[in-house]
Structure 1
Amino acid sequence: MQRRGKLFISLVLALTLLSACKKVKSDPELEKLIKAIPDNCDYDIKYAMVKYGTCKNKETDKVSDWIKANGMMKTLSTCAVLFNSEDSKTASLAAHVLYRNVKDNLQGIADAPQSLDTKIVELLMEGLKKNQTYFAFYGSQAIAKLATIKGIENKFYEIIEAHPESVVKKEGYRYIMQFGRLKTFPKIKELAGKDKDLKLVALSAPRNMYKYTQEEETQVCDWVQGFLQDSDEYVSAEAAKTLATRCKGKYIDEFLKEAEKRASEGKLKAPFSWALTSFTFSCKSFLGSPPTGTEEQCKKKEELKAKITK
């Protein structure tokens, strides 16, 4: 009896979601533009990618222009419908648009989350669950951000945990902090206690969160600093890169102290040294923002860069 009750509840929930998703509408004009891509461009379904320069009539540009003119809401609802298509090519095209046109353009929605219907995000997540193939990866970043904006990240976690493509899980978790911020931090800390790949994702995730508050810096940077001396060179390197790019003051000092220790042992090399070169604190103002490193820290960085070994 108990089992039958659970099955009934599951059925009710599934029917409720199906009913809600039917209300999400695809814009016919945008859908037509998107579906024209594989007919006129060299399109790879698995990698949701158009080979550069192969479109006959600038099909991808037409999609981009339409989105700029008509906004993100119609784009998201159209992508949600197409991402749930039974045709894999159509679903892949939705992932292509999510990756190319959506994932980096969600700040406006984050600033006004009430403007986005939760049903659209739920339908996108259903598509992620439905598409058990590699191209789902290209939709996972945008969907991670949207799920956290709408506060339904727990359902998102369930879906990516069950996905057969590990890249979907890793990409999804890597971006939950951008808009989820500290509410997603417990999940990030949980991931760090799992396998190495997820630990690396967890330590990189704070780099996708910007403009830390004092509380965020204290909680995140204190935690990341705990991995700075990890025995695994890639784990310690991820910690170093996050400290160098998202933390300031004493945290940069601790990173430089560890780099100095490695230099004295002749062990200052990649991947740890990337935090002194490619992923590092700024020493010059940029677009009106002041340097994140002090004059003394910047001087020390230059000295240490000269000590990097191969």
Structure 2
Amino acid sequence: MRWLAVLLLVVPLTGCAAKAGDGDGRVQVTAGFYPLAWVAQRVGGADVDVVGLTDPGVEPHDIEPTFARTVALARADLVVVEHGLQPAIDEAVSQNAEGKVLDVTQVVHLMHTGDHTVEHDSGDHDHGPIDPHFWLDPALLADVGDAVAADLSALDPPHATSYAANAAALRADLESLDSAFATGLADCPRHVIVSSHDAFGYWAKYGIEVAPVTGLTPDAEPTPAGIARLQALIRDEGITTVFAERLASPELTDSLARDLGVRTAVLDPVEGLTGDDSDEDYLTLMRANLTALEEANGCTHP
């Protein structure tokens, strides 16, 4: 990426102050991946222009930013990232970002993997003991929304009232979602889920325990001993469903489910949308996840 840093020195920038961008009067925001971009757009509304650094349909862990999007990063008034999740993005930010950088790991407390996983040898954990998938806890994502509003207000004081109101509306939506998860998963005969990778640990607050086929990244390889323990767990716990993920290959989960005669379903870690034309968003994807969990775990409601 060093060549890009040098090249950008000769690209005419419009300055580091807010309202740089394309001259349309909006604050320019760049976000590392979908949940952060969604929050920035919800909070910023019509007063911001948000560019995501991860393409729809692409798994964000190993993304390499394109030249055009790294130029957008350099010209952004606000860059919203999660340090440690996307190493190439971290490097691009350190070398090229000229505006304010909001690292959400300074806003939310990241969970350790041992806090939520079923004891099971699932392979290497590429992120060490820290689980980066905090956005699957709606309450934590609401905290990020408040931080985005504060930064946008500092960059663009005339629209501070709008940013605060948008953040409050976002928090209300996310608190409603949080309540739906708590209520929907409160009365279930099963609480262990088998998923393709260890992305759902933040649902421990709702009583969910995760037994992943692989580690924190979808490309990790499971061990034979780990697979054998998963098979025993599925039998012992009466687990009915093995969960694949929308942006990851279902090969391992399909094979495991087929061998044990259980069904498969999809959980979405909401790391990204499937395409630019998707009519779904964070809220609809999370509510679909809740429905899938309720069905798999036999949850009942009064």
Q: Structure 1 length normalisation: TM-score? A: 0.29
User: Which structure shows the higher helix fraction?
Assistant: 1
Q: Give the TM-score taking structure 2 as reference length.
A: 0.29
